[in-house]
Every structure is written in structure tokens, then in C-alpha cells.
């Protein structure tokens, strides 16, 4: 173990939340980590990236017995990365994430260029995405209740990511035109995608519940709503407008870790993920599937139905069509659609 730090997913989650968001611990953080956090926010990195980078930088410092990074260079960085790859046996993506965090620390915060680092980014493995059949998707949806049923219908019917789904606001949905405006998706990009008709009843019900919470919050004086960047200053009364409210809102008022304001945030992504895991298990599906599998299934079934790849690319929000091309490989069943010789042999013998 690394100075008492447990890298298991459960403990890393607890450690991250406690260390990054608890204001008592926040006041005890070293100045260096405060500088890293400030630099990340100035450059508009996401909250998840901020937590991840802080974690890896802290782990790097603890691995070298709390030495200051200014006193370390390429040799110490290489030793830490080697320890992750050889001893901890982390995945390639985790290894690359750790390297990116350390490079950010030296280049952007300490203004030190690591010119002779004996390490390269690990090559990303070429994995084909898991895809459910239409019957399997139907089985999964039949084992879900609202609001998770509506959310799953949006993941599969509109190709949304989990984060994009839970962050939908009332004004982002146009039921009359069957459109969803995805704001600030991956890569900080906006896009328009289709609103599946099957999801409309559940969506209307979720909006009604959100309105009830909205009226309750207005009566209790909770006007604050989370807005990205400077929109909070541009629209100071946004919290009093129902259009800015989250469709899938949380049941309880919470405190924002940055502004320290109290308000109603959106639902946690882990609640939907847990509901999906239960539904997949009840459906008797043994594939390694989850929420994101519905997005993969959306893209594959769209291409299978004859839609051109550019249309699917726009609906998914991919910058490069090569990213969308991976779903064409999923469609090539059985070795690019060829008939196995043993099947031909069996058909000949039976004939």
C-alpha cells in the first residue's frame, strides 16, 4: 500500500469525496495542491478531472515520502509510473491519467518542463463496445421503474451519456419538436439529438415532480441553482425560473462544495447505474453491460437501421467520424459477416 492509501474503487471514492469536498480538510491542504486546484479551475477543467488530478499528484508526493515535487524530476516520475504499472497493475487508461496529472503539475503549476522523462503514454487497447440486442434492451427496460425507466429510454433512444442525462434542465427539452438540446457535453460541446416518443410520458412525470420541488424550494427560500462558469452572474435570478431547474432533481437540498450555497442539485449518476445493474441482472443478461451500453446500442442499432454514419456521428456528438466508425465493426458479425465453413458443411450433410 502507498502510505496507507487504499486504491480500491470504494475506498478511493470515499477518500476523494472526504478529501476534496469536506471543508474542514480543505482548509488543511498544502499550498501546492491549492495552486493545482486554482490552475485547473482557471483553465476550466471539469470537477471530475480536478478530483482525479489532485488525487494522483497527492499519491505521487506520498509515494516519495512527501518530498516536494520541485525537488524531484524525471527519475522520480518514472519510478512512480513504473510502480503503478508493475506493482499495482493499473489499466493503461489509469496509467495515462497519472502521467497527465504529473505533467500538468510540472508544466502548468511549477513551470518546469520534464524534457528527459523515460516514459511514454501507453497505447490504448482496441476494445469493441458491448452491445445489447433489441430484445435485450426491451428486457432491461421492462425491469425498470420511473424515473430510471425514462432515463434509460433517453440513454438508448437519444444516445445520451449518463452525465448528460442527469444534467438535463427543463428548458433543454422541446417535446413539441421531439428534440433534446445537450448542453456542455463531453468536450464542452452542445448538440441536438432526438427525443424518443416512448420517453415523453416519463419525462412529463419527472418535470411535474421537479415543479413540485421547485415550488417547495421557493416557499422555503432556496433560490440558488448550479450554473456553469459565469452564467450565475449573468443570470442572477435563474434559480427563481423553473426552466433552469434539473428534470431529474435530487430529493434533498444540498450544499455546493464551491460556492457553499444551499440548493437542489441533480440526481447522482450512481443511483441510475445501480438501478441499471439490477435491471440487467433481472433480465438474465450476462454481458458486461451498464448504462453506457445503451448508448453503444443506440449507435449500433441506428447504423443497422440504415442511417448514415454522419447522422449518427452528430447525434452522438463525436468530433471525429473515426470514433463513430467503431460501431461499423460491431455490425460485422461473425468475422465480417462470412459463413463459417463448418456451418456450410453441416448444411451440406443435412441436405
β-bridge mates for residue 191, sequence order: 182
Q: Rounded to whole angstroms, what are the CA distances from 350 to 23, 60, 285, 343, 345?
A: 74, 65, 33, 11, 9
| CB burial of residue 333 (10 Å; 0-12, 13-18, 19+) | exposed
β-bridge mates for residue 5, sequence order: 2
**Contact (CB, 8 A) for 229 and 191:** no
Give the three-class secondary structure for 92. Answer: helix
Give the three-class secondary structure for 246. Answer: strand
Active site amino acids: 161, 186, 292, 295, 318, 327
Give the integer Cα–Cα distance in Å for 98 and 272: 28
Instruction: Give the single-character DSSP code of 177.
Output: T
Amino acid at each position: 500500500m502507498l502510505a496507507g492509501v487504499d486504491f480500491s474503487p470504494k475506498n478511493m471514492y470515499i477518500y476523494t469525496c472526504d478529501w476534496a469536498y469536506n471543508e474542514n480538510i480543505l482548509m488543511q491542504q498544502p499550498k501546492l495542491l491549492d495552486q493545482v486546484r486554482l490552475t485547473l479551475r482557471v483553465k476550466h477543467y471539469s470537477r471530475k478531472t480536478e478530483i482525479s488530478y489532485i488525487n494522483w499528484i497527492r499519491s505521487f508526493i506520498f509515494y516519495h515520502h512527501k518530498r516536494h515535487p520541485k525537488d524531484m524530476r524525471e527519475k522520480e516520475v518514472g519510478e512512480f509510473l513504473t510502480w503503478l504499472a508493475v506493482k499495482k497493475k493499473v489499466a493503461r487508461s489509469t496509467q495515462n491519467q497519472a502521467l497527465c496529472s504529473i505533467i500538468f503539475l510540472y508544466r502548468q503549476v511549477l513551470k518546469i518542463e520534464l524534457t528527459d522523462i523515460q516514459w511514454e503514454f501507453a497505447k490504448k487497447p482496441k476494445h469493441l463496445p458491448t452491445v445489447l440486442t433489441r430484445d435485450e434492451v426491451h428486457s432491461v427496460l421492462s425491469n425498470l421503474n420511473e424515473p430510471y425507466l425514462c432515463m434509460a429510454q433517453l440513454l438508448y433512444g437519444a444516445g445520451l451519456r449518463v452525465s448528460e442525462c442527469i444534467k438535463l434542465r427543463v428548458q433543454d427539452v422541446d417535446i413539441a419538436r421531439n428534440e433534446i438540446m445537450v448542453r456542455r457535453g463531453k468536450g464542452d460541446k452542445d448538440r441536438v439529438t432526438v427525443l424518443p416518443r416512448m420517453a415523453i410520458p416519463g419525462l412529463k412525470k419527472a418535470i411535474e415532480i421537479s415543479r413540485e420541488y421547485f415550488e417547495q424550494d421557493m416557499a422555503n427560500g432556496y433560490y440558488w441553482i448550479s450554473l456553469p462558469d459565469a452564467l450565475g452572474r449573468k443570470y442572477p435570478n435563474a434559480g427563481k425560473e423553473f426552466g433552469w431547474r434539473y428534470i431529474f432533481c435530487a430529493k434533498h437540498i444540498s450544499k455546493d462544495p464551491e460556492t457553499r450555497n444551499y440548493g437542489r442539485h441533480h440526481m447522482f449518476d450512481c443511483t441510475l447505474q445501480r438501478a441499471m445493474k439490477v435491471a440487467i441482472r433481472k433480465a438474465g443478461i450476462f454481458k458486461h453491460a451498464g448504462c453506457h451500453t445503451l448508448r453503444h446500442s443506440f449507435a449500433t442499432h441506428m447504423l443497422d437501421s440504415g442511417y448514415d454514419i454522419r447522422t449518427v456521428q452528430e447525434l452522438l456528438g463525436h468530433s471525429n467520424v473515426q470514433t463513430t466508425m467503431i460501431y461499423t465493426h460491431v455490425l460485422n458479425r461473425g468475422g465480417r459477416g462470412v459463413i463459417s465453413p463448418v456451418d456450410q458443411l453441416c448444411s451440406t450433410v443435412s441436405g
